[in-house]
Amino acid sequence: MNGEKHQDVAVAEAVAVDGACGPKAAPGFVQSGLWKALGPGILMSCAAIGGSHLVWSTRAGADFGWRLLGLILLANLLKFPFFLYGQRYTAATGESLLAGYRRHGTVFVWIFLLINILTGTINIAGVAMLSGALFAGYGFLGASVPHLTVALVGICMLLLLLGHYKLLDSMSKGIILLLAVGTLVAVALAMPGSRMVTGEMVPPSPWNWASFAFLISLLGWMPAPVDLSAWSSLWIFSREEQTGHFATVRETSIDFYLGYSAAVVLAVLFLALGALVMFGSGESFSDSGIAFSNQLVNLYAATIGDWSRPLILTAAFFTMFSTTLTTMDGYPRSLAACCSLIGDLPARRFRQIHQAWIFVSGLAASLVVLLFVKNLIQLLTFAAVVSFVTSPVLAIINFKVMNGPNVPERYRPGRFLRVLSWAGISFFVLMTGGYVYVTCFFGG
């Protein structure tokens, strides 16, 4: 038994190349370097904004006005501890969250691997197809959205194989800032005279069984699927490779809080944009990719002015392209880490496995888009639902790992985080049960 435990620890510490796991940092070695630590939390925010915010937050505002504001804030609050654990565990122990899974049993790594094979393919296909739809908005190419999507997936694969983490890190910060400023301006200009502000329109209630499937879709990607917690853990090691600095718990916490706060604020802003501009207009979001992307750009143009169309289209496209790039790095990276840990593979193999998973994930996502998808919203809805119904499992494992004996006592969840964690797990289980009930008895 002791020999097996020792082997688990050895594997957890060995897979260090390109961020699979990492060596434990000696207390005296870690130096202050907040700027060098910033990155993983912001990258996670970028992934969240591209998927949940552009699609589900704006749809929530357009269909129900402000009525789902509380649910959006609740979802962000209840998922908060499980995303925090990803970065905090790594900073506190010097190993990745997935290595922590391995400490508690290889079965947990297998569970994560199988969930990510399913959700990864679907989510990459979803965000890539929205990128393709936005790119089609430029109008100078006659290719269909599926073919544009496949082309963009190929470009992402090439960029990742050549640029790795540095490209992701440099792109995400500028893109989020550009879209955030544009959204803030659009919301500010939309406030005067809005139907919601003047009280001309009363929003319908979303609290009924007919709207339940939409609520699950909103929750699934709000602010992001729980499995993204493993990405930020792995990105800490990539950031260390880039800067030569292994972040402390305090530094990773600041990085996480900045990224997560940005995701929450932008979720509210996108809800506001949908509520202030589109709600009560008699128009609803189309299931067609090109039509949806045009409506998305129109939300901004209606308030800022037609001159902003090219700028907003470009900002939205690069936001989604960055999200596609991020997901195409994150899912293969976590899958490669799982394979390395399960197979007790040497550290030098990680980069090869990661590159192989990038290729396989890109190919699988392309096949989904070309062969199985009829419209954009159908794909995004399925991806969001799958992400939500798997969230209770991953949330429980994250909580278990963060309370493991190898985590220093002072870094384990305190009373507030423990209560919030159990509240989140209970909420995920109840809502998943509700979705199964609605699907079985009301046909979804």
Q: Which residue has the higher pLDDT, 384 or 398?
A: 398
Q: What average pLDDT does the segment 42-71 reach?
A: 85
Answer whether residue 345 shows pLDDT above 50. yes
* H or E element that contains 393: helix 391-402
Supply the pLDDT for residue 39.
75
Identify which of 237, 21, 230 has the alpha carbon closest to the alpha carbon of residue 115.
Answer: 230
Supply the pLDDT for residue 173.
67
Write the DSSP string, 45-75.
HHHHIIIIIIIIIHHHHHHHTTTTHHHHHHH
Q: How confident is the model at residue 185 (pLDDT cuts 50, 70, 90)?
A: confident
Q: Which residue has the higher pLDDT, 278 or 412?
A: 412
Answer whether residue 11 shows pLDDT above 60. no
Nearest 5°: phi and psi at 245?
-125, 125
Supply the pLDDT for residue 172.
65
Mean confidence (pLDDT) of the chain: 83
Q: What is the DSSP letter of 335?
A: H
Q: Which of 51-60, 254-263, 395-404 has the lowest mean pLDDT?
A: 51-60
CA pair distance 436, 38, nearest whole angstrom: 40
Supply the pLDDT for residue 214.
92
Q: How confident is the model at residue 363 (pLDDT cuts 50, 70, 90)?
A: very high
H-type helices in 191-283, by residue range?
Answer: 195-198, 212-220, 229-243, 249-273
Question: What are the pLDDT digits (tens) for 116-163?
Answer: 998 889 889 988 998 998 898 887 667 788 899 999 999 999 988 886
Question: What are the pLDDT digits (tens) for 83-97?
Answer: 999 999 999 999 999
CB 196 within 8 A of CB 202: no
Whole-model pTM: value is: 0.86
Which tokens is 11 given?
A: 């594997």
Q: How confident is the model at residue 195 (pLDDT cuts 50, 70, 90)?
A: low
Supply the pLDDT for residue 397.
96
Answer whether residue 14 shows pLDDT above 50. no
Supply the pLDDT for residue 371.
86
H-type helices in 343-414, by residue range?
Answer: 350-371, 376-389, 391-402
Q: What average pLDDT does the segment 43-58 reach?
A: 80
* H or E element that contains 183: helix 145-190
Q: What average pLDDT does the segment 233-242 reach?
A: 83
Supply the pLDDT for residue 307.
81
Question: What are the pLDDT digits (tens) for 315-344?
Answer: 788 878 888 988 998 999 999 999 999 998
Over pLDDT 70: what percentage of the chain? 86
